[in-house]
Structure 1
């Protein structure tokens, strides 16, 4: 059993309290937070007092409609500062500026030139987009989602499946260009943290988030905590073998899940069904968009059905391994194909899974990757020793 320090427990409790306030979608009382988190009223009051002192939460007055003593209402302070979320993808970089309620205020998209994808090229694009978006506003943190395996603590991209990078110090490169605190992770972890704080994670603690984009993978939460594995590589489900000796995957192996349910894999299925189909686009995502637009056609229906069968078998393996209460699907492929892809997968899941599980599309309305990246920056701010250490020291001094 992993031993957690008192500081780590306090960080977890602080996260849980703030998540409960976000989940209220407005204001909430201390009593309600205690009920939602299972923490004692005294602990909740102490943590909320700290969050008020650093400006994260504010009191909005008292609720006089309830029986008994009026309860103070607590809410997130949107004016405390800004958080930035960066979603680096193969063809474009999306950047969002969020206020502290995690409402997106400004966004920018920057195309990636296929002929200019060196680490310096991408770092320059990110830095330029962030500078344009932020201006002179106060930023609490910058979260960056980098495709492929990363080492978050070191801030290193271990491997980029799009550009072949290996062991690139992305965080250090961005820190040389930007004055903000930077937090690096990948789309699988970012999407999962977005669901944990602002989506299905509000309902269940044992959750799997399936991301279907050009690449595919999963994020896993256990008892409300993101599971990373020994070296942050948990969730590389897209490169599990689904069809032995099957299609060649971008990783160089054969038969990977990604080669059948990722955007390029779906395009390959379309070519197998109709090599001359007018639905074939310039790239995988364009092809998926065309299939979605022609969803009533026999060809599109056949592609979705075959893809759903493969997805269902792969998901059933997840269910048998992890036994989650719910699986949430997000990413451009899931957004484009919608419920049709889940309907096609459900029968395969029922045929191969040993336990029941709820399958649903992500309900997050904004880009879950940039939202999750910004949430990593929020978590970094909430765990900052300088900010909360000084508050704790002041409170101790005041009460002694």
Structure 2
């Protein structure tokens, strides 16, 4: 019971800080209204965050005659957070201040033959060192780094349990990184990172039930229920990309056939292009990024082959999104990641049309389908929030140790 109480307190502290980051400056009264916590609880939690140096008092709000309310805001220079987006084709690293404003970034393209753990670890370590140096951040100011890795990950052990597109099984990623990086490290996957980013700063902000569809090399769906990220029993919730869309369909990297990912991920879109026009100049056989960008450019120019590829992709994706709406009845579905950003409105319009044809009117009307409005890398942004969450949990533990002494 004591452990549960402490966990709830840590979660509430994180909840209050999240709201302050999203709405700074803000009064304690407004925080109580938005979070649903009592004013006394909010005042205590804000006091703890002030003592930790994460917040600062910034004066009082305008008053119409009543007692003026004190305002608090995040102290941006009191720490830094790192977010790492490990994707199938690149490693992207960003460092943020405590308002989650980007201070510096670094990126490297992953070549097809450079996906062994030691290669990825070297790129991540170099990227983190680069952004810390670029931003002029003192190493002691870094509160932690959140690492996003595609596939099934074990947050408790810091291991990649299974990554289908990489051929990784039980890779102790955080232990390998810790040999080169001294900051606290926190592991999760891009589905969860994107969902948190959208809940904090994107299209899902203020929504209770939301789904963030991640369209890249892989495909997945981050799920928020009651405004909170849903992880599932083994942190595997959201592997919707490996649900069956077409019985005995295309072979997927996971070994099954007919998965959503095999039709809506970047390699699946490339296959659609091959099926429609095998000799198309838009096809770059060894470069999925170049192929998707070529399709996007050709689409703007009215190319009929590109238009047909996007129509077919949207038809498959829309059928799979319709299943999500039937199953979860969300308020918003956000199309995120680099493929969605590249193909943009034509893909979105096609998905909406396909969903409308396969979904009952009531849940369809309630579900807004949109592109992610986040202009930066949502995965790095979301990963940084995992580092923030870990830093708050560690601060709570340090406080308890100090009290015992």
In the superposition, the TM-score normalised over structure 2's length comes to 0.92
Deviations 1:263-288 (A, max 9, x none): 11111111111111111124222211
CA 1:170 to 1:348, structure 2 compared with 1: closer, same or farther past 3 Å? same
Aligned partners of 1:159 and 1:166 also within 8 Å? yes
Does the alignment pair 1:353 with 2:359? yes
CA distance in 1, matches of 2:210, 2:14: 18
Shift of residue 262, structure 1, vs aligned partner? 0.6
Match of 1:367 among 377, 381, 384: 377
Which of 57, 60, 63 matches 2:61?
A: 63
The 5 Å alignment of 1:149-160 reads 149-160=152-163
Question: Using the alignment, how far apart are the partners of 1:235 and 1:134 within structure 2?
Answer: 32
Deviating runs (4+, > 6 A) in structure 1?
none
**In the alignment, what sits opposite 2:253?**
250
2:222 alignment partner in structure 1 = 219
1:38 matched to which residue of 2?
36
Q: Which moved more, 1:233-242 or 1:284-293?
A: 284-293
Q: Summarize the alignment of residues 1-400 of structure 1 with structure 2, pairs less than 5 Å apart.
A: 5-24=4-23, 26-135=24-133, 136-137=138-139, 138-281=141-284, 282-295=286-299, 296-354=302-360, 355-356=363-364, 357-384=367-394, 385-389=396-400, 393=403
Q: Is the 8 A contact 1:50 1:388 kept in 2?
A: no
User: Matched residue of 1:383: which SS?
Assistant: helix
Deviation per CA, 1:136-180: give whole Å up to 9, x if none. 432101110111111111100112233311101001111121111
Deviation at 1:20? 1.8
Alignment partners' CA distance in 1, 2:208 and 2:179:
38
Instruction: Determine helix, strand or coil for the equivalent of 1:116.
Output: coil
| Structure 1 unaligned blocks of 5 or more | none
Q: Structure 2 regions of 5+ residues with no counterpart? A: none
Secondary structure of 2:180's partner?
coil
SS in 2 for 1:5: helix
Distance in 1 (CA, whole Å) between partners of 2:354 and 2:6 is 45
Q: Secondary structure at the match of 1:203?
A: coil
Aligned length: 392
Q: Deviations over 1:118-141 (max 9, x none)?
A: 212221221122122224432101
Q: 1:388 to 1:341 in 2, by over 3 A?
A: farther
- Aligned residue for 2:357, secondary structure, equals helix
Cα separation, 2, equivalents of 1:363 and 1:326: 13
CA distance in 2 between counterparts of 1:111 and 1:131 reads 17
